[in-house]
Structure formats: structure tokens, C-alpha cells
Amino acid sequence: MISDKKEVSVRIIPDFVSQRSYILKSLAEEIGYIPVRKETLVHSLFGGIKSEKFEHTCYQIRLRSLEKNFACNFEALDQLTICNNVTPVNAGPWMKKLQEINIVLTDVGEKSQPVQVLIGADLLGKFLTGQRRVLSCGLEAIETLLGWFLRT
């Protein structure tokens, strides 16, 4: 993630279901992004539950791939917490298979950091390259312009 003042590596989660994209409020403030506008939303949750009205600050953010071969600007709403306990990809037979087919994952290991950016359905389609591989274990590797991710 890049701003005029700072550059930091962030943990991103793609979400085909969320209608909007989000950034941690603390990260937006830390990196020095300037608010674009405010939006008041009601969130519809799993099971038909609806949240109370909540005011989000919208920021224009800039992401760049770790390889520095792709960068983009887009709007994201702030959120105090994006999601809890999303563990990185752990070791397993799928890692050897991914290595054999030259797929490199960056969110691996034992240490789990908070998810700082959620790329929702409003933007995710623009990031997809069309490359995907289904592993024999059932996991699907999907390539984006920011790198590969796994989904079940």
C-alpha cells in the first residue's frame, strides 16, 4: 500500500460476496490517506441480520503488488475490524503441488496478522487474470494482478 508519505505491506483478503471494498480505519489514518466523503450504510449479514446504520469514511487508496509490476487506485470504506482470525495458508501437501506448478503464495506461515484490506465484488473482477488451478485436494488457486490466493 502506498501513500505520499509511506509505503507498507498489507494483508489483503478477496471477498466475492462483500459488495464493497474496505480498509482498516487505523491503517488509513496511519498511512495518511485523506477522506473523500462519508457514506452511511446498513450491512446485511449472514442469516438475514441487518446492522444498525453505520457511517463509513471513504478513502482513495493505492495498492501495488509485491513484485511492483502492478499498481492501482480505488475507493475503500473504513472499518474498525475487517475480519477475525483468518489464518495464513499452513503447510500441507498442497504447498508442494503449488510449487510444482509455479504458484507462489505470500500469505503463508504460522503468524497471523489482521486483514487490513478487503477487496469486494465491486472491484475483485477487475483484479482477476482468468488464471486458476483446481488442486486434487479441492482447493482452488486463483490469480489476481496482486498475486495468487487459495479458496475452498
Q: Domain extents for the chain? A: 12-88+112-126
Q: For residue 89, with 0-12 CB atoms within 10 Å meaning exposed, 13-18 middle and 19 or more buried, which class applies? A: middle
Asked if the model's pLDDT at residue 51 lies above 90, the reply is no
Query: With bands split at pLDDT 50, 70 and 90, how would you rate the model's confidence at 95?
Result: confident
pLDDT at 23: 98
pTM for the whole structure: 0.90
**What are the distances in angstroms from CA 117 to CA 77, 95, 151?**
10, 24, 17
Report the CATH architecture of 12-88+112-126. Beta Barrel (2.40)
What distance in Å separates the CA atoms of residue 84 and residue 97, rounded to the nearest whole number? 28
What distance in Å separates the CA atoms of residue 125 and residue 85, rounded to the nearest whole number? 25
Backbone torsions φ then ψ of 61, nearest 5 degrees: -115, 160
Report the pLDDT averaged over residues 10-30. 94
DSSP-assigned letter for residue 44: B
Asked if the model's pLDDT at residue 140 lies above 90, the reply is yes
Average of per-residue pLDDT values in the chain: 91
Instruction: Say what percent of the chain tops pLDDT 70.
Output: 100
Report the pLDDT averaged over residues 89-102. 85
Report the pLDDT averaged over residues 33-44. 94
Report the pLDDT averaged over residues 47-57. 92
Q: What is the SS3 assignment for 34?
A: coil
Report the pLDDT averaged over residues 40-46. 88
